[in-house]
Amino acid sequence: MKNKLLLKLLFGTALIVSLNYVLTPAQQVIFKINMAGINNPDSLGIVGTLPPLSMNKPILMEGPDVQGFYSVSISFPDSATGQQLNYAYRYANKKSDIVRRIIIEKDQLQTVIDKWGYLDGMSANVKPSPDIEVRQTDTPEEAAELNRPFIGITTDGKPIEKLFPIKKTGVNITPIKNAVNDFLNAITKEQKEKCSFTIESNEWRKWHNIDFYKRTGIGFEELNAQQKDLAFDILKESLSPKGLQKSKDIMKMEEHLAFLTNDYKRYGGDKYWLVFMGIPSDTEPWGWQLDGHHLVINYFVQGDQVVMTPTFMGSEPTYMESGKNKGLRTFKTEEEKGIAFYSSLTQEQKDKATIWHNKDLNFNQAEAFRDNAIIATTGIPAKELSGSQKKALLDLIAEYAGNMKEGHAKIKMDEVKLHLDETHFAWVQGANINSPFYYRIHSAVILIEFDHQTPIAIWDRAKPRPGPVKNHIHTVVRTPNGNDYGKDLLKEHLKKHHKQ
């Protein structure tokens, strides 16, 4: 029996294409996808790697039905039996969902039920990294994101209130304030104007890991030697010695990346920008931001309280095989402590912590322009850990919190301990314990992500791009429930001291 299928190129002309192969015996697969949460997807199609599917010509799906599902039934030839089908759903402007995989079974009616953006179907607990919606500043995509009211990272779209009261910490912030003032006094009036913003400015939220994102502020490349030293003094007084060294190592690795790729326009150790929000003060809120490829620090100050999130640190490569800094390795401790903690779990605990058994995708959820991400607390809760395991988890968290000065890091860790039992640890990895992995630590007051990523700059172009590798790492630290950028503290301050 020969068959004809309607193929529709999305936003193009419908075509009647004769499929000249025998469909009996045939392997029939019904694809269904739930699009809840996606507004007006318009035409929805499916693409794939086995005929009659194609990666270039989507087959139109019908829907949505009353439950929000789009569906299509596709018959594959007998020759597809036992083969792996890679497929994806696609709608407006060729926007695609994640690539999924199934094995075509012989003489079976298979039904596949997916949910847009999730790997585990309608359970909707496991999400790979979302598409990067904002890729450049001053674009409609960026404007749309910034126009959304700030809520913060939550588990359900509703932030938990009264987690972050204004209080005295007893930590001396005068050295930080002086370092910022010294830098601002050393630059020209024109330079100061382009890197100074109000405390409520959306500049806080305009940061990115992407190297080609056009930053505002004052770049290290335009600073003279004295000014650059003063810029590093800001980092020195704001960060712990460990946090400062990590930042410098990332910059060194960026310089090495420029050498490896011979692309000094995109990469380099000086391609970082500073902006300042508010004016350094003992009573009024203020802060600063460092923004560049693989290193972003947001630093908010209210009185003697500090919020140092969002913080993004990453590296590609993660080991320097040659050059003046030969032997330098980034994220060694975060990597080793992560795998050591996971390895300390019993098999039952590992089963609960592991949310997905394949690490063929990126998994970070809280990178740039994801300020309002809804992230479920998945994995194993700390209340199910032994005493020694809880201690190891706290040590892992401290590796990230400890990038701040010791006094403020201790305050953050005290905050973490108050919510320890409800802190969840989630893990993603394949069967090989030495393979790339992802972990997430998530509580009401802290979110930490570590992710081995797909290579962007360094991979063998003679071969297909591989999946995640250990030579490319992204880490993110967030303060959930509305206190990234110190937003919750700022709201409390304005309510108390600046009533309209």
In a domain, 131, yes or no: no
In a domain, 453, yes or no: yes
Listed residues 91, 123, 155: the one ending a domain: 123
In a domain, 134, yes or no: no
Q: Quick one: 303 and 445 in the same domain? A: yes
Which tens digits make up the pLDDT trace of 124-181?
Answer: 889 999 888 899 999 999 999 999 999 999 999 999 999 999 999 999 999 999 999 9
Distance, in Å, from the CA atom of 46 to the CA atom of 33, rounded to the nearest integer, reads 10
Q: What is the mean pLDDT of residues 484-500?
A: 89
Q: What is the pLDDT of residue 124?
A: 87
More confident residue, 416 or 7: 416
Angstrom distances, CA of residue 351 to CA of 16, 341, 431: 49, 14, 12
Lowest mean pLDDT among 15-19, 223-227, 308-312: 15-19
In a domain, 228, yes or no: yes
Whether the bond between 455 and the residue before it is cis, its omega within 30 degrees of 0, is no
Q: Give the pairing type, strands 84-91 and 69-77.
A: unpaired
Which tens digits make up the pLDDT trace of 289-322?
Answer: 999 999 999 999 999 999 999 999 999 999 999 9
Q: What is the mean pLDDT of residues 87-101?
A: 84
Q: What is the pLDDT of residue 435?
A: 98
Calculate what percentage of the chain has a pLDDT beyond 90.
85
Q: Quick one: 92 and 234 in the same domain? A: no
In a domain, 352, yes or no: yes
CB 230 within 8 A of CB 430: no
Q: Quick one: 98 and 162 in the same domain? A: no
CATH number, domain of 64, equals 2.60.40.10
408-416 contact pairs (CB < 8 A, 24+): 408/169, 408/171, 408/306, 408/308, 409/240, 411/169, 411/171, 411/305, 412/446, 415/445, 415/446, 416/443, 416/445, 416/446
Q: Quick one: 91 and 167 in the same domain? A: no
Q: What is the mean pLDDT of residues 359-371?
A: 97
In a domain, 135, yes or no: no
In a domain, 128, yes or no: no
pLDDT over 60 at 380, yes or no: yes
The number of distinct structural domains making up the chain is 2
Q: Quick one: 95 and 241 in the same domain? A: no
Alpha carbons within 13 A on the beta-carbon side of 337: 18
CB 303 within 8 A of CB 314: no
Lowest mean pLDDT among 101-105, 252-256, 443-447: 101-105
Residue 221: CB atoms within 10 Å:
12
Q: Quick one: 57 and 7 in the same domain? A: yes
Q: Quick one: 157 and 83 in the same domain? A: no
Q: What is the pLDDT of residue 17?
A: 37
In a domain, 132, yes or no: no
Q: Quick one: 239 and 360 in the same domain? A: yes
- Amino acid of residue 372: N
Q: What φ, ψ does residue 110 adopt, rounded to 5°?
A: -100, 140
Q: Quick one: 104 and 170 in the same domain? A: no
Listed residues 89, 123, 157: the one ending a domain: 123
DSSP string, 247-309: HHHHHHHHHHHHHHHT-TTT--TT-EEEEEES---SSS-EEEEEEETTEEEEEEEETTEEE--
Q: Quick one: 215 and 99 in the same domain? A: no
Which tens digits make up the pLDDT trace of 41-72?
Answer: 678 999 999 999 998 889 999 988 888 899 99
Residue 7: CB atoms within 10 Å:
19
Q: What is the mean pLDDT of residues 228-253?
A: 98
Q: What is the pLDDT of residue 1?
A: 36
Mention every residue, 6+ apart, whose C-beta is less than 8 A from residue 69.
32, 33, 34, 35, 63
Which tens digits make up the pLDDT trace of 175-212?
Answer: 999 999 999 999 999 999 999 999 999 999 999 999 99
- Per the structure, the complete domain to which residue 68 belongs is given by 3-123
Q: What is the pLDDT of residue 118?
A: 92
- Does the pTM exceed 0.75? yes
Q: Quick one: 459 and 392 in the same domain? A: yes
Q: What is the mean pLDDT of residues 342-349?
A: 98
Q: Mean pLDDT score of the chain, rounded to an integer? A: 92
Alpha carbons within 13 A on the beta-carbon side of 183: 31
Q: What is the pLDDT of residue 19?
A: 37
Q: Quick one: 424 and 315 in the same domain? A: yes
